[in-house]
Structure 1
Amino acid sequence: MSVPYRTSFNGKLDRLSSLIDRLRVQVTNVPAGCADGHTANLKIYRTEGQGLRLVFCPSREVGAADRQAMGPAADETTLVAARIAITGIGRQLISALPGILSITLSEEPYLNAVVMPLIEEVAVPRCGGQAAFQRLCEVVVIRLLRHAMEEGKADTGLLNGLSHPRIAAALVAIHEAPGEAWTLEKLAEAAGMSRTQFSVTFRERVGATPMGYLSNWRLDIARAELDAGRQVKSVAGLCGFASPAAFSRAYSRRFGHPPKKRSAAAA
């Protein structure tokens, strides 16, 4: 078994890139003066003492309670407000985040470093500003995911699994090579754990069995590939199913209709 795991610049296992590749981030800039009554879910505040605070509500809909929690303190001024909508398979990362993240940026210099040019793009509008704002918001999302993973902000789910070094190795194996003929034994080997220890720890951390997670990941990729116009037979092989018939049965159980229907709709 040889799976080309991606590594980060320091040579360590890259736990996020295969998921981030599948995120789709749409950003709408909201004028700071209109932010309180808008559906902005990312805000940056400045206090009278010149300190910065970032607040992010990852959920798709910002309810009344969330808007209240995201509001400024008495001594805060809104510098940036944006609506960030995240779709794609990698959105599992986002659903694993807490309902609201509130971060004092003086305590997180790596986040502060990308927030400063974001503030600049709003304060000093220039040509290409909207494109720059979009890309900077994407980087903010990535760094928030790192922050949540490294600080243990998620109690269960995908981010919680990725924060465990051994479970992360198995998850990256699944993400990088969904078509591999994975078995429980092979995934446990990738994690460097016994089969029993791996199964128990994976379920505790991720909230699903290893093979259940693998199946769902394959089917999520399959649906995205069908939407992109790929043929059922090609998608079945890409996602590790023994035959198009086996793929069709699994797909129908998960989504309630055969993959040919999805493929025809995409066409």
Structure 2
Amino acid sequence: MTQSPNLPKMDRLAAFVEVFKLRVAVLSPGEAGMPALVLAGDGAGGAGRVVFRPGGFARLPPDARVAAAVDFDNEANPLMSAMPEEVAVALDGSPSLQATAAAFMAEASESRCGRSAAINRLGEVLVLMALRGAIDAGTQKPGLFAALAHPALHRAVVSIHDMPQRRWTVDELAERSAMSRSSFMATFRTVVGTTPMAYLSAWRLTLARRHLLAGDPVKLAARRTGFGSAEAFSRAFSKAYGHAPAAVKPLRAAASQGRHAA
């Protein structure tokens, strides 16, 4: 890997937490729902682990103590589709993780006021720590996690995530990563599996679709995500999703139509 010259790391998860809603709920035995987050092990003296499987567990580990469903806008969130099949983080490697896991298990085992809210907040922290562990561990598979783990390239990727509306050039993104243009282009394609401009366009389309679902007009969604015009946005959106952006119905309108139909 190319090493960046002592540049501070950027927050590689901030954009995903801001854009996609993270929800965690404990599942009781026999309750419907696919468990994705499991606290396993005896927990004594910090022993045990947090295990996160974005695709869910078909069968829980034999030493599972608490199982929870995780909704991180899974289908729309590119972070979830890019994750490894399983991330396991040992509790004894982090006092803060150990304390959070203990509080999570305590809330899960009791029926107290505010239980669901407390579980959701604590579960969010556990998921984020698992994601942090996956990024820190790195991966040899090209894609988003490899880019976020790369010591230099992640600065360009995070810049795209944080400022999609900016008119980025390859030279500017290479400068963010403290790399030459040629080295940046070659490294980006190898690590991410696509070109910087193609990745930028894909991220913009992901955000634009969410704006449309929230009720934004096509022109506003295009402007908020950095497309030069509504026409250019419509062409890119239609190519990516197979239909025009005007065909996207806001979630509130779709829910209202469903109630009337019922």
Give the structure 2 partner of residue 130 of structure 1. Answer: 116
Unaligned runs of 5+ in 2: 1-7, 254-262
Deviations along 1:54-103, one digit per CA (max 9) or x if unpaired, are 222112xx3xxx434x421xxx3x32111112206872222222212233
Give the structure 2 partner of residue 243 of structure 1. Answer: 229
Could you tell me whether the CA contact under 8 Å between 1:231 and 1:263 is conserved in 2? no
Could you tell me whether the CA contact under 8 Å between 2:237 and 2:245 is conserved in 1? yes
Give the structure 2 partner of residue 105 of structure 1. Answer: 91
Could you tell me whether the CA contact under 8 Å between 1:22 and 1:89 is conserved in 2? no
Aligned length: 245
User: 3-state SS of the aligned residue for 1:87?
Assistant: coil
Give the structure 1 partner of residue 136 of structure 2. Answer: 150
Could you tell me whether the CA contact under 8 Å between 2:41 and 2:48 is conserved in 1? yes
What are the residue-to-residue correspondences of 1:252-267 with 2, within 5 Å? 252-262=238-248, 267=253
- How far is the alpha carbon of 1:181 from its aligned partner? 1.0
Give the % identical residues. Answer: 37
The residue identity in structure 1 corresponding to 2:38 is K
Could you tell me whether the CA contact under 8 Å between 1:230 and 1:263 is conserved in 2? no
83-92 vs 11-20, which moves further: 83-92
Distance 2:130 2:218 in 1: 36
Give the structure 1 partner of residue 11 of structure 2. Answer: 14
What are the residue-to-residue correspondences of 1:177-216 with 2, within 5 Å? 177-216=163-202
Choose from 36, 57, 71 the match for 2:53.
57
Give the structure 2 partner of residue 6 of structure 1. Answer: none
Distance 2:205 2:157 in 1: 15
Distance 1:113 1:197 in 2: 43
Deviations along 1:187-232, one digit per CA (max 9) or x if unpaired, are 1122221111111111222222111100100111110001111111
User: 3-state SS of the aligned residue for 1:148?
Assistant: helix
Give the structure 1 partner of residue 36 of structure 2. Answer: 41
The residue identity in structure 2 corresponding to 1:53 is R
The residue identity in structure 2 corresponding to 1:58 is P
User: 3-state SS of the aligned residue for 1:21?
Assistant: helix
- How far is the alpha carbon of 1:118 from its aligned partner? 0.2
The residue identity in structure 1 corresponding to 2:108 is V
TM-score, normalised by the number of residues in structure 2: 0.84
The residue identity in structure 2 corresponding to 1:42 is L
Could you tell me whether the CA contact under 8 Å between 1:23 and 1:89 is conserved in 2? no
- How far is the alpha carbon of 1:46 from its aligned partner? 2.9
Distance 1:173 1:102 in 2: 28
User: 3-state SS of the aligned residue for 1:179?
Assistant: coil
Could you tell me whether the CA contact under 8 Å between 2:88 and 2:130 is conserved in 1? no
The residue identity in structure 1 corresponding to 2:37 is L
Give the structure 2 partner of residue 67 of structure 1. Answer: 58
- Over 3 Å counting, the alpha-carbon distance change for 1:48 and 1:214 in structure 2 is closer
- How far is the alpha carbon of 1:157 from its aligned partner? 1.7
Could you tell me whether the CA contact under 8 Å between 2:89 and 2:133 is conserved in 1? no
Distance 1:257 1:87 in 2: 21
- How far is the alpha carbon of 1:109 from its aligned partner? 3.4
What are the residue-to-residue correspondences of 1:57-96 with 2, within 5 Å? 57-59=53-55, 62=56, 66-68=57-59, 70-72=60-62, 76=63, 78-87=64-73, 91-96=77-82
Could you tell me whether the CA contact under 8 Å between 2:89 and 2:130 is conserved in 1? no
The residue identity in structure 2 corresponding to 1:55 is V
- Over 3 Å counting, the alpha-carbon distance change for 1:49 and 1:221 in structure 2 is closer
Distance 1:80 1:40 in 2: 10
The residue identity in structure 2 corresponding to 1:177 is M
2:20 is equivalent to residue 23 of structure 1: yes
Distance 2:110 2:22 in 1: 23
